[in-house]
Amino acid sequence: MEYPKELVKIVNERSKNYALEGFVTGSGPLDPKLMIVGEAPGRKEIENLIPFSGQAGKELMACFASVGLTREDVYITSALRSRPYKINERVNKKTGAKEIVYPNRTPSKKEVFAHAPLLDYEIKAVKPKLIATLGNIGLKRLLGNTYTVSKFHGQIIKHPIQVLNEKMESYVWSKKDYTIVPLFHPAAIFYNRKLAPLIKADWQVIGQLLQTVDNN
Ligand code: URA
């Protein structure tokens, strides 16, 4: 996806005080059956500029395959287009020397808001028939803070989404309803293997929906 230069400039300005690095554009076909909204790119993604190309991406591709999809069928993006990092000092176990590392972290609400013009633009341009959010960040970005993935995963929600107002100063509800299915983030199973059967079942909901959405 190529974003309007002016919009990227606005987002850079809105994000300038946050610990974010790199810029990975969303990618995939226009008018897809499915759009994925994740959290933010990680280290791997900002290196090779392909969304979900790291470890979480491998899990996601397996979920796609379970419902007969490939990466090329799906528009893939996230609430943020840059990697949120933190700065940690630690002792290198091998050398004993102090070192600074920059691991990924969960983005703040303010950072999601700073990047909101890009996701708004993508949703308008891509016109997905169905949106699956991965994890709480993408879900709350679109449906607000009352939604949590643990409560709503696998449910089919027809609802307006949060979009920025004209001045890009606050969220308002879209005029149009969207079909959203909240899903766990594929990286969640790295921390909790017990989620695997739930994730599998939720993807079957997506599989069923894909058979009914009009693809003309
Ligand atoms: N997690 C996300 O939410 N997006 C990516 O592109 C990679 C990991």
Out of 78, 80, 85, 189, give the residue to mutate to test ligand 1, the one with the largest number of ligand atoms within 8 Å of its CB: 78
Please report which confidence band the pLDDT of residue 214 belongs to, taking 50, 70 and 90 as the band edges: low
Q: Is the beta carbon of 52 within 6 A of some atom in ligand 1? A: yes
Give residue-wise pLDDT tens across range 23-42.
999 999 999 999 999 999 99
Give residue-wise pLDDT tens across range 96-143.
999 999 999 999 999 999 999 999 999 999 999 999 999 999 999 999
Q: Is the beta carbon of 28 within 6 A of some atom in ligand 1? A: no
Q: Is the beta carbon of 39 within 6 A of some atom in ligand 1? A: yes
Q: Residue 191 is part of a domain; what is its CATH number?
A: 3.40.470.10
> What is the predicted pLDDT for the residue at 213?
74
Residue 92 belongs to domain spanning: 5-215
Q: Is the beta carbon of 184 within 6 A of some atom in ligand 1? A: no
**Closest ligand 1 atom number to CA of residue 24:** 6
Q: What is the mean pLDDT of the chain?
A: 96
Q: Is the beta carbon of 45 within 6 A of some atom in ligand 1? A: yes
Q: Is the beta carbon of 32 within 6 A of some atom in ligand 1? A: no
Per DSSP bridges, beta strands 131-134 and 98-101 are unpaired
What residues have CB less than 8 Å from 130, skipping those under 6 apart? 33, 34, 35, 179, 180, 181, 206, 209, 210, 213
- Please count the structural domains in the chain: 1
Q: Is the beta carbon of 56 within 6 A of some atom in ligand 1? A: yes
- CA 38 / ligand 1 centre spacing (Å): 5
Alpha helices in the chain (DSSP H): 5-15, 43-48, 55-66, 109-126, 135-143, 149-152, 188-191, 196-212
Q: Is the beta carbon of 78 within 6 A of some atom in ligand 1? A: yes
**Closest ligand 1 atom number to CA of residue 135:** 3
**213: helix, strand or coil:** coil
Other C-beta atoms lying within 10 Å of the C-beta of residue 125: 15
